[in-house]
């Protein structure tokens, strides 16, 4: 393909309810979308960077800047460009994996739409629907939490993930387990909120038979996670620490995790996410697909990824109405605790023009 240009589009999406984690509370999403235009087709990408650099070093304004000044120009004048060639072309720019992932996603979408192939087929999906879990933020009270969990279970979600932090961990987990029973698939996510010295406290979660504790320590503390894994019985899952297939292999080799959360934006794109999946599968380590409150565009790609054979745990691929009253695409609707894997060309979904116009705050055309 030869790119004609790339459109950067900022949209603002209010959340149906505030979403609180150990690093902050979100009430809306400031999202950067990319539209890649080629002679054959258009493709869409979604950058998962948040508005502020609290979850990771990346944030939306920085992603837009590096795309405008470095990443998009790096693809200029490449007549034989395909998605596989995007990462090597962008490699001279250090870091900025979320921005790179969005650009690769858009190029891959355009390539597959032009060829009439789906994301699922390209990535290696083996299922046409995937089981869905839901991430439940930190609440103001145990009662509020129990009501929220009950609502998600009534909606059909097959797994519950509770965000935790010091002071909001053992008590909410105990309350959920006592209220909804031992058969509930339950896990927790700390988003780096603890230290190795908290090992004995985190071990108090062991009696609740959790699927996993996700990213309890700082993302750079692989050694600490390995030490923690020897102290607590609950499996340790890494999220922010896994930035590539190579870091996944290193963490597994060092005994730092027994499960891996795969987030395509965090590792630089869906092709690298597939490599992370392959590395984990080779080591017998289960993976699941994490979420970043994506619109229907990112959700379509995540669902396709979650249909690969190594994704044996339900992911955070929630229905559209978990976060947004109205999505920018035809909404993803939960059916028996599952979402369908789009089968159409590329992502299998596209933005609804009227809805996209309603939420757009700015656009910028970058000719190539």
Cβ neighbours around 39 below 10 Å, total: 9
- Asked if 100 is an active-site residue, the reply is no
**Which residues contact residue 361 at a Cβ distance below 8 angstroms, ignoring those fewer than 6 apart?**
10, 11, 12, 30
Sheet holding 42-47, edge to edge: 42-47, 24-38, 3-21, 360-367
77 phi, psi to nearest 5 deg:
70, 25
- Cα separation, 84 vs 337, whole angstroms: 33
Under DSSP, is residue 80 helix (H, G, I), strand (E, B) or coil? coil
> Given the structure tokens 């837009």, which residue do they identify?
64
Sheet holding 213-214, edge to edge: 133-136, 159-163, 186-189, 213-214, 236-238, 259-262, 287-289
CA dihedral 303, 340, 159, 252 (to 10 degrees): -30
Under DSSP, is residue 188 helix (H, G, I), strand (E, B) or coil? strand
- Cα separation, 217 vs 22, whole angstroms: 12
From the list 2, 94, 161, 163, the catalytic residue is 163
Packed helices 170-180 and 142-155: angle between N→C axes, nearest 10 degrees: 50
Hey, what are 360's tokens?
Answer: 């757009």
- Asked if 161 is an active-site residue, the reply is no
- Cα separation, 328 vs 136, whole angstroms: 23
190 phi, psi to nearest 5 deg:
-100, -15
From the list 2, 94, 161, 263, the catalytic residue is 263
Query: Nearest to residue 235, comparing CAs of 306, 157, 294, 288?
Result: 288
Catalytic residues: 163, 263
């Amino acid at each position: 393909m030869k790119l004609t240009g790339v459109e950067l589009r900022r949209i603002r999406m209010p959340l149906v309810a505030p979403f609180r984690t150990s690093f902050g509370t979100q009430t809306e999403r400031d999202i950067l979308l990319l539209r890649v235009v080629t002679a054959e087709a258009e493709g869409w990408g979604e950058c998962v960077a948040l508005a502020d650099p609290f979850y990771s070093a990346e944030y939306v304004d920085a992603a837009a800047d590096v795309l405008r000044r470095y990443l998009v120009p790096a693809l200029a004048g490449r007549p034989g460009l395909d998605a596989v060639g995007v990462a090597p072309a962008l490699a001279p720019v250090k870091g900025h994996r979320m921005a790179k992932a969005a650009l690769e996603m858009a190029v891959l979408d355009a390539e597959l739409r032009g060829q009439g192939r789906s994301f699922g087929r390209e990535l290696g999906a083996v299922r046409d629907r995937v089981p869905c879990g839901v991430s439940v933020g930190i609440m103001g009270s145990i009662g509020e939490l129990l009501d929220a969990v009950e609502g998600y279970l009534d909606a059909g979600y097959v797994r519950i993930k509770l965000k935790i932090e010091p002071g909001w961990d053992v008590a909410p987990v105990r309350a959920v387990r006592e209220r909804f029973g031992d058969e509930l698939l339950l896990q927790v996510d700390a988003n780096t909120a603890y230290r190795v010295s908290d090992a004995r406290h985190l071990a108090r979660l062991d009696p609740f038979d959790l699927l996993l504790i996700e990213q309890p320590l700082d993302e750079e503390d692989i050694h600490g996670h390995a030490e923690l894994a020897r102290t607590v019985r609950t499996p340790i899952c890494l999220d922010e620490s896994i930035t590539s297939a190579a870091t996944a292999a290193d963490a597994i080799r060092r005994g730092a995790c027994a499960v891996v959360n795969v987030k395509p934006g965090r590792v630089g794109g869906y092709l690298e996410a597939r490599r992370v999946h392959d590395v984990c599968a080779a080591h017998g380590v289960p993976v699941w697909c994490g979420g970043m409150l994506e619109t229907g565009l990112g959700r379509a790609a995540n669902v396709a990824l979650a249909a690969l054979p190594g994704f044996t745990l339900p992911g955070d691929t929630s229905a559209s109405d978990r976060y947004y009253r109205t999505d920018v695409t035809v909404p993803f609707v939960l059916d028996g605790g599952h979402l369908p894997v789009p089968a159409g060309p590329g992502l299998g979904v596209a933005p609804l023009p009227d809805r996209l116009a309603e939420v757009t705050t700015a656009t910028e055309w970058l000719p190539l």
